[in-house]
Each structure stands twice: as structure tokens, then as C-alpha cells.
Amino acid sequence: MPARPSAFLRLSVRYLRPYAVQEVEIFVHMLLALGFTLAYPFITRYIFDTALPSGRFSEMVGPFAILAGAFVVSLAAGLRRSYVSASVSLAVVRDLRNEMFERLQHLPTGWFARHRQGDVLGRMFSDVAQVELGISRTLIDGIFHVLSLAASSLVMLRLHLGLGLLVMVATPLLALVYRAMGAGARVRSLVVQEESGRLMGVAAENYQAQPVVKAFALHGRERDRFGRASQRLVHAQRRLTLFGGFFALSVSTVVTALRLAVLAIGVWLIFEERFTIGGLVAFTGVMGEVLNPVAALTGLGQQLQAATGALVRIDEVMGAAPERTRNSGAAALPRLARQLRIDSLSFSYTVGRPALRGVDATIAAGSRVAFIGPSGSGKSTLLRLLMGFHDPDGGTVTIDDHDVSRGSLSSLRGQIGVVFQDTFLFDSTIRENIALGWPEAATPRWRPSPAPPGWTPSPRGCRWATTSRSGRAACDCRAGSASGSPSPARCSATQVCCCSTRPPRRSIRAPSARS
């Protein structure tokens, strides 16, 4: 079900709760910033109706001093409010993005197979940024506009009750415009977010497929594919922009008509000696302070619809079921002592097309067993089931008669060492890449090789290794570039280490890996 603006507001309140102190400070600065808005109409009326007719400039010194002081306070409060508001909204984005990343760590592999990488990255960055705009503008700025609207309405009623009531009666027309066009804005915003995710997906896929693109001269095909996705995004953005233009035009029409009506009635009241020139000047000024927040709130309504559309896509990640939720409190499996047993194991990626059917095997502890078969026979699928990446459709896997589906995933995977057919190196040092599956490995157990000829000592210290991806030398340090110049960046696992101008002849000898 599509998320509604109320759901977005509930999410915002949830993430803003840890920053309650900052929110109180923002509210205080909002009140201070309204000082100039409250003082200006009354001082304007005094100048036109009292100070100017008196002919004495001294009558204007005091009012101008009050306005100047109110302006300085309002300016300083507004600046501080903007800074604190930005800090809070950015912190909320950080929290939301961290929570999304944490959720991704616990989703099953099947979820990743159903979602393209670029689309997921689009949700984590583009959509979260859209939500940040919704929080900073809709909530924080929106609250300020509501306060300004309330204060200005009171001033307006104080200046002239009849004209004030007229403006307040006509103002809900703007809310009707928003209500009539809000659904269309939300739908078009969601389409923009989806097309943006698809475009990022094409770019991410092309980045990973560069060897294939170059080997088969697919540059033209990829350029056309990216161009089509980019054009679809532009088309969706154009539709949203055009709809937003109609939205703004509708609001502007209502505001302009109301201004003209107030001006005409005010002039008539002056002729009837029921209103003063100073009062009309002050009223038209404060009327802008009423209509501008209303118009701004309708614009924030568009932003709210856009943020709500982004929230729909974020909720698909945040609401996805994690791995094996039914066993979240499962006990740890014992260490394998006797045998691993597979009984009548069956599994299907797609209903009606089994990848495994009735597999049976008994593997004694300490034995060496190979599963051999042609491509697509189910070898990798069996490994995925043993690792707990998927739940079988039927059958069981047991360790010493303990069903692995009833134990915790961490205790199962902690007993399995695996070498995937597709190699992957994290953007870190070789030492850290080697020790990923053995976090308790102590630093003293690493034995660095003697310095190779041509080695230039580094003040930070280096440890040599050779990458499995390229065979080139790399180091475990945070120093320099390939030319030997110092740099704060960590040496890449696929770059020649900064510590030497010649590749090493010997590599780090890591301790034996556990079985």
C-alpha cells in the first residue's frame, strides 16, 4: 500500500525524537524571528497615521529604532535556526541511512537477487536525500510558517476585523488546490524516483561489466541503453515539473485575486472614513505575511508528496523480512564432531522448476568430499543451502543430528570455510582481506618478509603482500603513492605500494587457515 503523508510525518517524528533539545532551541529561535513580523505593521500604521501628519521627524526616531532592533534579533535568530535545522536534518539522514545499511546486512540473498544494485543504491542515497528535504523543509520550515501564519493572522484581525475575516475565509481555497492536486504530485514524484533508480542500475551494471563491454565492443549498445534510461528520467522529471507549474499557477491565481479584493474594499472603507491610509498600508503588508506562509505551505505540500514517494521505496527495504526471522532467538549449533547429513533435500528458485530434488549425503567429520557435475546441476545451490542462504523446500541438513534450520545462522556459518568461484577483495589491505574470516587472529602471528631490494622505509611502516586479483605488490600501510610521495590514503589492494619503487620478491606469510 502506498505511503501517505501521515506515515511520513510519523517517521519524521520518530527520527527527530533523539534531537528534542535541538528542536526546542529551533522553536525558541522561531519565536524570536517573529519579532520583526509582529512589530512592523503597528509601527507602519503609527508612521502613516501619527508621525507623518505631525510633521516632526523626532516622532519617527523611536519607531525606527524599535524596527532596527527587532530586525537584528530576527536576523540573528533566523541564522541560528537555519544552522541548527540543517544539523538536525543531516543527522536524521545519517541515522536513516545507517539503519537501511544495517537492514541490508540481514536480508536474505534471494532479496538481493530480486533487486538491482543501482536501484538499491538509489533508495539509499537519492531517496534518503529526498526524505531529508522533506524533514528539513516540511517539518522544520513548515512549523515556522505555521507560527508565522498564526501570528500574522492575529495582527491582521487587530488591524481590521472585517478585512481580516475576509482573508481568513478565502485562505482555505489554497488548501483545496493542494488537496485536489496532491495525489497527482505524489504519483509523478514516485515515477521520478523509480526512473532515477533504474538509471543508476544501468550505470552500476555497466561499471561491473567493463571487461565484457570492452571484449565484445559493446560501447554503442551500452551508450544507447544508458541514453534511453536517461531520457525516461528526463521525461518523468519534465512531467513532474509541469505539474508543479500548474500547482504554483493555481496558488498564485487565488493569492492575486484575494489581494485585489482586499485593496478594493480597503480603498472603499477609506472613502467611507471607516479605515485609515496607514491602516490599509499596514494591513496589505501583514496580509502578505499571511498569504506567503499559506503559499509556502502548499509548496511544502508538494515537497511532502515527493518525500512520501521516496518513503514508499525506502519502506520496501526497511520492511523486508530478514534472514530466518522465525529463528531469531535460536540456540547455537554444536561444533561438528561426527558427521554432516543431508536428507531428501529439495529446493526451487522458481515454483515448478526444482533446482535440487531429493538429495541425500552423509559426510563424516575429517573426510574430503567433492560434488561433481555439469553447470546448472545444483552444486552452488547445495552450497548456498548448507550456508543457510536459502531455506530448503523439503528435507533437512543436520550436524551431529542437530537440524541446522533450528540453530542460529552465526553458529552454522562460523563452522564453514568457503572459497567462492568469483573472487572479491574489499578496498582495504591484504592483511585485513586475509583475516576477514578469522577476526581473532592476533597481529603478532603475522610474519613480515625481509625487505626486498630497493625498498624505501616508511615512517608508518609497511607489510608486503601480493594481490590475488592482479598479482601486483601491495602493502599494509597508510602512506604514499606509487611514486613514493606521502599520502594520507590507505594503499589499495590492487596498487603498487607507496613504500617502494620496486615490487617485492616475497610476501606476507599468513598463519594456516582453519578448516
- Read off the CATH number of the domain in which 140 is found: 1.20.1560.10
Per-position pLDDT tens, the chain of length 515: 455 667 677 777 777 888 889 888 988 988 888 888 888 888 888 888 888 888 888 888 888 888 888 889 988 988 998 888 888 888 888 888 888 898 888 888 778 878 877 788 888 888 888 887 777 667 777 788 888 888 888 888 888 888 888 888 887 777 777 767 767 777 888 788 788 888 888 888 888 788 788 878 888 889 999 999 999 999 999 998 888 788 778 877 888 888 888 889 989 998 888 888 888 888 888 887 887 787 677 667 667 777 777 777 887 888 887 776 545 567 888 888 888 898 998 988 877 788 888 889 998 988 888 888 888 888 888 888 888 888 888 898 888 888 888 888 888 888 887 777 777 777 777 777 777 766 665 555 555 555 556 555 544 444 444 334 444 434 444 333 333 333 333 333 333 333 333 333 333 333 333 33
How much is the pLDDT for 479? 33
Let me know if residue 197 belongs to a domain: yes
d(CA 503, CA 455): 9
d(CA 434, CA 415): 17
Same domain, 192 and 63: yes
The helix-helix angle for 161-170 and 172-208 (nearest 10°) equals 40
Contacts of 416 (CB under 8 A, 6+ apart): 386, 387
Which grid coordinates belong to 209? 561489466
How much is the pLDDT for 511? 37
| 3 state SS of 382 | helix
How much is the pLDDT for 232? 93
Contacts of 251 (CB under 8 A, 6+ apart): 174, 177, 295, 298, 299
Q: Which of 258, 292, 318 is the last residue of a domain?
A: 318
CA diameter of the chain: 108
Let me know if residue 418 belongs to a domain: no
Let me know if residue 204 belongs to a domain: yes
Instruction: For residue 410, give the nearest of 341, 511, 513, 323 by alpha carbon.
Output: 323
Let me know if residue 455 belongs to a domain: yes
| 3 state SS of 457 | coil
Contacts of 92 (CB under 8 A, 6+ apart): 12, 15, 16, 19, 132, 135
Same domain, 45 and 120: yes
Same domain, 499 and 465: yes
Same domain, 246 and 124: yes
Starting from the edge strand earliest in sequence, which strands make up the sheet with 402-403, in order? 353-364, 339-350, 394-399, 402-403
Same domain, 224 and 362: no
Number of structural domains (the chain) is 3
Asked if 320 and 107 touch (Cβ cutoff 8 Å), the reply is: yes
CA gyration radius for the chain? 34
Helix (H) and strand (E) counts for the chain?
17, 6
How much is the pLDDT for 108? 81
Spell out where 66-202 has E strands.
none
Q: Which of 389, 413, 437 is the last residue of a domain?
A: 413
How much is the pLDDT for 326? 47
Same domain, 205 and 263: yes
Same domain, 265 and 388: no
Contacts of 177 (CB under 8 A, 6+ apart): 247, 250, 251, 254, 298
Domain that holds residue 274: 5-318
d(CA 506, CA 508): 7
Q: Is the dihedral of CA 234, 235, 238, 244 positive or negative?
A: negative
Asked if 206 and 172 touch (Cβ cutoff 8 Å), the reply is: no
Long-range CB contacts (< 8 A, 24+ apart) of 397-404? Answer: 397/340, 397/341, 397/342, 397/343, 397/345, 398/340, 398/341, 398/343, 399/333, 399/334, 399/336, 399/340, 400/334, 400/336, 400/337, 400/338, 400/339, 401/341, 402/333, 402/334, 404/333
CATH code for the domain of 379 = 3.40.50.300
Same domain, 362 and 381: yes
Let me know if residue 419 belongs to a domain: no
Q: Which ranges constitute the DSSP H helices of 331-408?
A: 379-387
Instruction: For residue 3, give the nearest of 443, 322, 317 by alpha carbon.
Output: 317
